[in-house]
């Protein structure tokens, strides 16, 4: 490892309307190291890396490569300087082959005008062998796995001569095995002299793969520490700035009868693969059951099935005695299933609708909101007023468009609507994603309130602290199966272990 850093970002500041994303950030990268950039959502990690990749220009500060000042006004410039980025959302063209995607814009040519596909294929194979990234150059992107797609993205960067690789939350879309494979690849790249910036918010991964760790919090660098000797608690403290992670004050639960019963449920995902395998669970009235798991392990499909948005392949769903296995969304809602969807912009709210109309989205078919097909605007308005007040929604009147509210207030509207529907079972999917601390607290309090009112609350979240602080019982899902049940006193290690498939036999394939 050379002593002088390969790459230095000095005093980088970047401001967006209303938000200071990067505040006087200093960051350096040594040759051949893996340097992790750690922080919560909104800490400024992506902004910093986008600046490095030429997508944004910093307001102040400079970038030095090998001791020389460089200007990165465009991604082209960044690529020319040997900086490659693997985005969280892959920039791959689904209907084209691996080779075509990799050589795009720098294609090898035959006779000057024709595309030399054989040369491209050959080059891809060479790179693939050199760096240990096994891919089939002729496979179509939409037919290979996510892990393989990621390898194609890495190859894209390497093909263009990247010496510095930025990986933006690479494990967010991978299964645990694929993540381990990725780490192997990173180690191999490291041994070949590449330098890697690894963006993440997952403490255990960062400790596993990085040499040094820089923590960002609210746009400011907290510290840069070597990975050896760092602990998860220490890192968490740097990331979050609090000793103790948020725990909600709550009374013990008094669960009653099971209101949600799922028996031997099997659900297929959009690609025809079995996403939920033989899952049985129950949630009783008066308890919060938390479902923990790595993203894309079947949670979405499970929720969709319960909410009537997806047909199960087999099994049963019973809500308060009613068999809802073959119900559609409308019937599920009428039977008492409330659903706070995981994406409030795309699924929870109609942004160009007013708050009144959004609230009416649940219940517009029944009196007093409507009679014989005619809407009763007065009733809708008074209901909206009542709910906006009760849920302390700020930033607008009932006639304000939903799109004008902040994320936290938007989520409050969704909550208000679902809770006002008096559901027997309330599904909360990622209810605090992208929210600030105050809004998170509010949502948590309300969920506990619903539990105390006797409802069955089914919380599905990717955030372990949320699960641990809210749930009365914790289930873990891994590759579509329930692999464990834990009390709320379980540790993050125990849960993490189960979430990544530990403790089970190696029976099934991905």
Partner 1 sequence: MTAITARVGGIRWTDPKTVGIAGIALGALAFWLALPPLASRTQLLPILLGLLAIAAGIWTWSREQHRIGGGAVAAGVLGILFGVLATRSSEAHLDTVVVWSALLAATLRYATPLTFAAIGGLFCERSGVINVALEGMLLTGAFFGIWGAIWAHGWAPGWEWVIGLITAALAGMAMAAVHAFWAIHLKVDQIISGTAINFLALGITGYIFIDKYGDSGTPGNVADYGIPDVHLHFLNNWYFIGPILGQLNLMIWLSFVLLIATYIFVFRTPYGLRLRSVGEHPRAADTVGISVYKIRYMAVIASGAIAAMGGAYLSLGFVHSFNENMTSGTGFIGLAALVFGKWRPFPTWCATLLFGFSSALSDRLPNAYGNQWGTLFNALPYVLTIVAVAGVIGRSIGPAAAGRPYEKQ
Partner 2 sequence: MSDLEPIEDAEPPTPPGQVPAPQQRFASRFGGITGAWAPIATTIIAFLMGGLVVLFTGKNPLKVYHAVWNGTGINWFFHIGNHHARVPFSTHKMWFPWDTASVAAGNLQQTLLLTTPIILTALALAFAFRCGLFNIGGQGQYTAGTIFAVWLGTSFVNLNPFLHVMLCLIAGTLAGAAWAGIAGILKATVGAHEVVSTIMLNWIAYWVGSYLFGEGGPLQGTQASIPISNDIAEGAKLPVFWGIALLQGLSIGIFIAIGILVVYWLLINRTTLGFEVRAVGFNPEAARYGGVSVARNYFLAMAISGAFAGLAGALDITGWEYRIGENDIQASTIGFTGLAAALLGRNTALGVGVASLLFGALINGTSGRQLDPSIFRPDLAGNLTTIIQGLVILFVGLNLGGIGLWLKKRRRPA
Q: Which residues pair with 427 in a beta bridge?
A: 339, 458
In the complex with partner 1, which residue's Cβ is closer, 106 or 366? Answer: 106
Residue whose entry in the numeric block shows the structure tokens 């490291």: 190
- Give the pair of three-digit tokens for residue 392: 């302390």
Q: Is 95 in the site for partner 1 (CB under 8 A)?
A: yes
Burial class (CB in 10 A: 0-12, 13-18, 19+), 333: buried
Instruction: List the x/- string, 282-311, binding to partner 2 by CB under 8 A.
Output: -------------xx----------xxx--
CB under 5 to 8 A by kind: which of partner 2, partner 1, none does 473 bind? none
CA pair distance 224, 244, nearest whole angstrom = 22
3-class SS letters over 319-353 = ECCEECCCCCHHHHHHCCEEEECCCHHHHHCCCCC
Angstrom CA distances, 199 to 85, 183, 400, stand at 11, 13, 38
- Give the pair of three-digit tokens for residue 89: 């959302």
How many CB atoms within 10 Å of residue 357?
A: 20
Three-state secondary structure call for residue 14:
strand
CB under 5 to 8 A by kind: which of partner 2, partner 1, none does 109 bind? partner 1
Per CB under 8 A, the segment of 111-119, 122-130, 387-395, 500-508 that binds partner 1 is 111-119
Angstrom CA distances, 109 to 92, 102, 113, 116, 122, stand at 21, 14, 6, 5, 13
If you ran DSSP here, which 8-state letter would residue 304 be given? H
CB of 167 to partner 1, least distance (A): 15
CB under 5 to 8 A by kind: which of partner 1, partner 2, none does 180 bind? none
In the list 3, 18, 68, 113, the residue contacting partner 1 (rule: CB under 8 A) is 113
CB under 5 to 8 A by kind: which of partner 1, partner 2, none does 148 bind? none
Residue whose entry in the numeric block shows the structure tokens 């009653």: 256
In the list 138, 436, 449, 508, the residue contacting partner 2 (rule: CB under 8 A) is 436
Q: Is 375 in the site for partner 2 (CB under 8 A)?
A: yes
CB under 5 to 8 A by kind: which of partner 1, partner 2, none does 107 bind? partner 1
Burial class (CB in 10 A: 0-12, 13-18, 19+), 112: exposed
CB under 5 to 8 A by kind: which of partner 1, partner 2, none does 497 bind? none
Q: Is 223 in the site for partner 2 (CB under 8 A)?
A: no
CB of 455 to partner 2, least distance (A): 19
Per CB under 8 A, the segment of 99-107, 305-313, 327-335, 500-508 that binds partner 1 is 99-107
Q: How far apart are the first and last CA of the chain?
A: 38
CB of 467 to partner 2, least distance (A): 18
Q: Is 74 in the site for partner 1 (CB under 8 A)?
A: yes
Within 288-307, the residues that bind partner 1 by CB under 8 A are none
CB of 177 to partner 1, least distance (A): 26
In the list 108, 396, 434, 502, the residue contacting partner 2 (rule: CB under 8 A) is 434
Q: Is 91 in the site for partner 1 (CB under 8 A)?
A: yes
CB under 5 to 8 A by kind: which of partner 1, partner 2, none does 41 bind? partner 2
Three-state secondary structure call for residue 239:
helix
In the list 24, 59, 107, 274, the residue contacting partner 1 (rule: CB under 8 A) is 107
Q: Are 450 and 437 in contact (CB under 8 A)?
A: no
- How many chain residues are in contact with partner 2, going by CB under 8 A? 57
In the complex with partner 2, which residue's Cβ is closer, 1 or 146? Answer: 146
Handedness of CA 219, 220, 221, 222 (dihedral sign): negative
Q: Is 168 in the site for partner 1 (CB under 8 A)?
A: no
CA pair distance 411, 413, nearest whole angstrom = 5
Q: What is the DSSP code string of 56-124?
A: S--SEEEEEETTEEE---SHHHHHHTTEEEE-SS----TTSBHHHHHHTTS--EETTTEE-HHHHHHHH
Q: Is 143 in the site for partner 1 (CB under 8 A)?
A: no
Contacts with partner 2 by CB under 8 A lie at: 16-19, 21, 41-44, 46, 56, 88-89, 172-173, 295-296, 307-309, 328-330, 332-334, 339, 341, 343-353, 357, 360-362, 364-365, 370, 373-375, 377, 406-408, 433-436
Contacts with partner 1 by CB under 8 A lie at: 55, 74-76, 79, 85, 87, 90-96, 100-101, 104-107, 109, 113-115, 156, 160
């Amino acid at each position: 490892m050379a002593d002088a850093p390969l790459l230095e970002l000095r005093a980088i500041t970047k401001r967006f309307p209303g938000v200071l994303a990067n505040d006087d950030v200093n960051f350096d990268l040594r040759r051949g190291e893996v340097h992790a950039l750690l922080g919560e959502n909104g800490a400024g990690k992506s902004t910093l890396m986008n600046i490095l990749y030429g997508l944004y220009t910093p307001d102040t500060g400079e970038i030095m490569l090998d001791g020389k000042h460089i200007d990165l006004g465009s991604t082209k410039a960044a690529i020319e300087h040997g900086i490659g980025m693997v985005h969280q959302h892959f920039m791959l063209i689904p209907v084209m082959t691996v080779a075509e995607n990799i050589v795009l814009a720098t294609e090898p040519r035959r006779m000057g005008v024709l595309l030399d596909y054989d040369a491209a294929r050959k080059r891809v194979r060479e790179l693939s062998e050199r760096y240990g990234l096994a891919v089939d150059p002729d496979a179509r992107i939409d037919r290979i796995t996510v892990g393989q797609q990621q390898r194609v993205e890495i190859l894209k960067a390497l093909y263009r001569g990247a010496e510095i690789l930025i990986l933006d939350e690479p494990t967010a879309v991978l299964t645990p095995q694929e993540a381990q494979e990725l780490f192997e690849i990173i180690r191999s790249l490291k041994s070949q002299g590449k330098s890697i910036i690894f963006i993440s918010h997952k403490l255990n991964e960062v400790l596993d793969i990085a040499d040094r760790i820089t923590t960002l919090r609210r746009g400011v660098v907290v510290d840069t520490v070597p990975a050896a000797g760092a602990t998860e608690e220490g890192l968490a403290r740097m990331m979050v700035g609090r000793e103790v992670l948020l725990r909600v004050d709550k009374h013990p639960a008094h669960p009653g009868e099971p209101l949600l019963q799922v028996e031997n449920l099997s659900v297929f995902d959009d690609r025809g693969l079995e996403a939920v395998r033989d899952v049985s669970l129950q949630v009783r009235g008066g308890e919060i059951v938390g479902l923990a798991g790595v993203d894309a392990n079947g949670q979405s499909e499970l929720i969709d099935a319960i909410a009537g948005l997806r047909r199960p392949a087999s099994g049963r769903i019973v809500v308060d005695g009613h068999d809802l296995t073959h119900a559609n969304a409308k019937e599920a809602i009428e039977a008492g299933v409330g659903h706070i969807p995981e994406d409030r912009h795309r699924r929870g709210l109609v942004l160009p609708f007013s708050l009144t109309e959004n609230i009416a989205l649940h219940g517009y078919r029944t009196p007093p909101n409507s009679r014989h097909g005619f809407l009763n605007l007065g009733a809708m308005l008074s209901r909206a007023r009542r709910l906006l007040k009760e849920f302390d929604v700020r930033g607008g009147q009932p006639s304000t468009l939903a799109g004008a509210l902040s994320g936290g207030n938007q989520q409050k509207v969704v909550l208000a609507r679902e809770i006002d529907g008096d559901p027997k079972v309330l599904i909360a999917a990622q209810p605090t994603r992208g929210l600030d601390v105050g809004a998170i607290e509010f949502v948590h309090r309300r969920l506990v309130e619903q539990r105390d009112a006797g409802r069955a609350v089914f919380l599905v979240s990717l955030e372990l602290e949320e699960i641990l602080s809210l749930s009365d019982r914790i289930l873990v899902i891994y590759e579509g199966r329930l692999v464990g049940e834990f009390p709320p006193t379980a540790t993050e290690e125990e849960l993490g272990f189960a979430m990544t498939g530990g403790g089970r036999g190696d029976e099934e394939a991905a």
